[in-house]
Structure formats: C-alpha cells, structure tokens
Amino acid sequence: MAALETFYEVMRRQGITRRSFLKYCSLTAAALGLGPELVPQIVHAMETKPRTPVLWLHGLECTCCSESFIRSAHPLVKDVVLSMISLDYDDTLMAAAGHQAEAILDEVMEKYKGNYILAVEGNPPLNQDGMSCIIGGKPFLDQLRKVSRDAKAIISWGSCASFGCVQAARPNPTRATPVHEVITDKPIIKVPGCPPIAEVMTGVITYMLTFDRIPELDRQGRPKMFYSQRIHDKCYRRPHFDAGQFVEAFDDEGARKGHCLYKVGCKGPTTYNACSTVRWNEGTSFPIQAGHGCIGCSEDGFWDKGSWYARLSDFHQFGIEANADQVGATAAIGVGGVIAAHAAVSALKRAQHKGDV
C-alpha cells in the first residue's frame, strides 16, 4: 500500500498531466458549488495532503449505493477511487478476496489509526446476535463496531445506513438498525437515498478530503449542501403546482403535458434531496422528469408511510390502515350523527317538559 503519497503524486504517477489535474480541481470546485477563488485551495490540498484511506463496509444492503457511486460523472468515479481516496477496502470493488481482503482492514486500522474514513453501505441487524448478516464468517455488527472504533468519521451511505430502509420496514424481523443508533461516539454523515445520487456521494467524499472536515450537517445529520431543500422547491414542474395544474391519472392529458404529479402522490414536497437540481446519470433525468412522482426514498421510514401514490401517511393505530382524511371524515360523520340524534332527543325532551325553562 502506497503509504503517504499525496493525491497529486498518485495522479502524476498515473500519467495525468498537470493541466488535467488543474482542470479536475476546477470541476471539483464547481461540483461542490464553490467559487473559482477556492480552486487554488483545492489544488494545494491535493498537492500536500496524503490520500485518506476509506474503508467501505457492506451490511444488509442491495449494493445500489455502490452501483450509483460508480456512475459518478462529476467527478468521475475513477478519479475519486484511483486518485483522490485510497479505497483500501470495498469487498465489491476490490481485487483481493477472502483472508487477504480481511487482512487489509486490520492493516489500515492500525496504520491510520484515527485517521481513516469509514463508509458504511447497509446496516446491521441486531436480532439473533446479528446472525442475519455475516461478513467473513462473523456478524457484520462485530465488523462495524470494530472498524468504527478508530475511524475519523463515518459516512452512512444510502437510506439503509441512514434510516434503515426496506430491511427495517415494518415488521423488521431482523431488527435492522441504522448506523447512528449502533455507533454513537463518532461523527456520522448521513447520505440518504435509495440509492443516493452519484454526484452527491462523490461530492461528500471530495469535500471531506479537500477541506479535511465534515460538511455542514442539518438537524438530521445530512450535508446541507445537498439536502437543505425539498425536491418540490426546485422542481421544474413547480409552476404547474402553483397554477393548480395536476396529473389526475397517469395516462391523462395533464400527464402528457407534464403537469405536477402531486395528486398522483409525488412525495417531492416532503422529500429532501438534490434530484431536481443535480439529477441522475450525468444530469440526464430524474423520476419526476420521467413522469413518475418522487417516492421519497431519502426520507426516514419511507417504506412505512403508506402508498407511494398517496400524499397522506397511513395510521396503523386503528387496526385498519387509514389516512388522516379517512379518519377525520369518519369521525366527523360519527359526531354529526350523534349531534343529530342528540338534537332530536333534546327536542323531544323539551316538548315533554314544555314551559320548564
């Protein structure tokens, strides 16, 4: 393992010209939303800082985060993996396997004690002593606890690590638990999404390596630069929402005209993510642009909020599943009936005792 090589040295060694390197730094600055005056800072950091080792663990997950990550265009994921970070352990991307692979974990933990970043994709199940997820013959829970002990910071990739996602959905038989509820003594950056946007993932990593600090986080521990606005706030269909022009059904005139998908259950107004600005696959499109509402995949517990085609969550407290409107209207009809009956009895009583008061 190339121990304390800087980013720049690694890039030069790979035959990247200084000109390309500078271009790359400018692009990175642009991707992070930084002004051109910060480019020299990035250049300086790349030239002087040793590459930071990143250990990427996989728990209960579907690898969609990795699939998304390798499609990053700005910066290209090859630049991130080969030049910026030292991705020393990622069992789906690395060449090594078996004991050889597991040995790298111990080596990095020892050599870069307190100085490596732990990226977690997926989450640990806690039931049955964590037996529902075994890595290298041991529960993932043990691996997570061990590797997190000397980590500088933890990145929770995706909704699994951040909030639990599908494996933690009701009734959650394995008790899949988000990372921040298991590891409580480390700074944790949540990058939710199922999967998160590729550029958001590489952007978060680039920021952390460039400025050697974790990005500013919101109340729920998500980087503000990507998660401070709702899909709805920057949606290109927003004018149709304000105008009151909706898709009423997926094959109607409104759908063809690209009207707002609010009435067919778009979760854009309650979902914090960068899809409507960064978009997907090199900015090609995102779900709403493709004509389907947002399903709110980067929100806590999005599997358990009822239909993806309804704007109101279901309550489960009543035995049956019902949303606020159904509960409220039923109660209003019930109370209305009681009032009518009560009024009738009152009138009868009054007729009986006419003249009392």
Partner 1 sequence: MAPLDHGKRDGAAPGGAEDPSAPAAPARFLKAIYVYEVPVRLWHWVNALAITVLAVTGYLIGSPLPSMPGEASANYLMGYIRFAHFAAGYIFAIGFLGRLYWAFAGNHHAKQLFRFPFWDGHWWGELFLEARWYLFLERKPKLYVGHNPLAQFAMFWTIAVGSVFMIVTGFALYGEGAGVDSWQDRLFGWVIPLFGQSQDVHTWHHLGMWVIILFVMVHVYAAVREDIMSRQSIISTMVSGVRTFKDAEAPADEPEPKAAKPASPKALEPAG
The continuous run of DSSP H or E covering 352 comes out as helix 324-352
Q: How far apart are CA 122 and CA 158, in angstroms?
A: 7
Q: Please report whether residue 336 would count as binding partner 1 according to CB under 8 A.
A: yes
Q: Residue 356, interface with partner 1 (CB under 8 A)?
A: yes
The residue (of 13 and 350) whose beta carbon lies closer to partner 1 is 350
Measured from the CB atom, the residue of 71 and 311 that comes closer to partner 1 is 311
| Pairing verdict, β 116-121 and 52-58 | parallel
Q: According to the binding rule CB under 8 A, does residue 242 interact with partner 1?
A: yes
Q: Applying CB under 8 A, which part among 39-47, 93-101, 172-180, 308-316 lies near partner 1?
A: 308-316
With binding defined as CB under 8 A, does residue 289 bind partner 1? no
Touching partner 1, residues 110-149 (CB under 8 A): none
Instruction: Tell me: does residue 262 bind partner 1 (CB under 8 A).
Output: yes
What distance in Å separates the CA atoms of residue 167 and residue 174, rounded to the nearest whole number? 8
d(CA 175, CA 123): 10
- Quickly count: other Cβ atoms within 10 Å of residue 102's Cβ: 18
> Residue from 91, 218, 289, 291 that binds partner 1 (CB under 8 A)?
218
Counting residues that bind partner 1 (by CB under 8 A) gives 59
C-alpha angle with apex 35: 29 to 37, nearest 5 degrees?
100
Of the candidates 17, 48, 128, 346, which one interacts with partner 1 according to CB under 8 A?
Answer: 346
Least distance between partner 1 and beta carbon 149 (Å) = 27
Does residue 190 interact with partner 1 by CB under 8 A? no
Among 6, 270, 277, 289, binds partner 1 (CB under 8 A): 270
Spatial distance between the Cα atoms of 276 and 268, rounded to a whole number of angstroms: 9
Closest CB to partner 1 among residues 187, 328 = 328
Instruction: State how far the alpha carbon of 8 is from the alpha carbons of 4, 16, 39, in Å.
Output: 11, 9, 14
| Alpha carbon 123 to its chain's center | 13
Rounded to the nearest whole angstrom, what is the least distance from the CB of residue 163 to partner 1 in the complex?
9
Sign of the CA dihedral with 257 first, then 258, 260, and 264 last: positive
Residue 53 sits at φ, ψ, to 5 deg, of -70, 140
341 scored as a contact of partner 1 (CB under 8 A): no
Residue 223 to residues 5, 108, 204, Cα–Cα distance (Å): 28, 26, 8
Complex with partner 1: residue 185 or 356, whichever CB lies closer? 356
N-term to C-term CA, the chain: 97
Q: How far is the CB of 73 from partner 1 (least distance, A)?
A: 27
Q: Which of 6, 63, 172, 220 binds partner 1 (CB under 8 A)?
A: 220
Closest CA to 175 of 62, 60, 296: 60
Confirm or reject binding of residue 243 to partner 1 (CB under 8 A). yes
Quote the CA–CA distance of 48 and 46 in Å, as a whole number: 6
Nearer to partner 1, 292 or 305 (CB): 305
Q: What residues pair up with 138 in beta bridges, in sequence order? A: 135
- Using the contact rule CB under 8 A, the part of the chain among 3-11, 27-35, 142-150, 331-339 near partner 1 is 331-339
Give the CA-trace dihedral at 314, 296, 224, 34, to 10 degrees: -160
Q: Assess 291 for contact with partner 1 (CB under 8 A).
A: no
Residues that bind partner 1 (CB under 8 A): 218-220, 224, 228-230, 233, 239-248, 254, 259, 262-263, 267, 269-272, 296, 299-302, 305, 311-313, 315, 323-325, 327-329, 331-332, 335-336, 339, 342-343, 345-346, 349-350, 352-353, 355-357
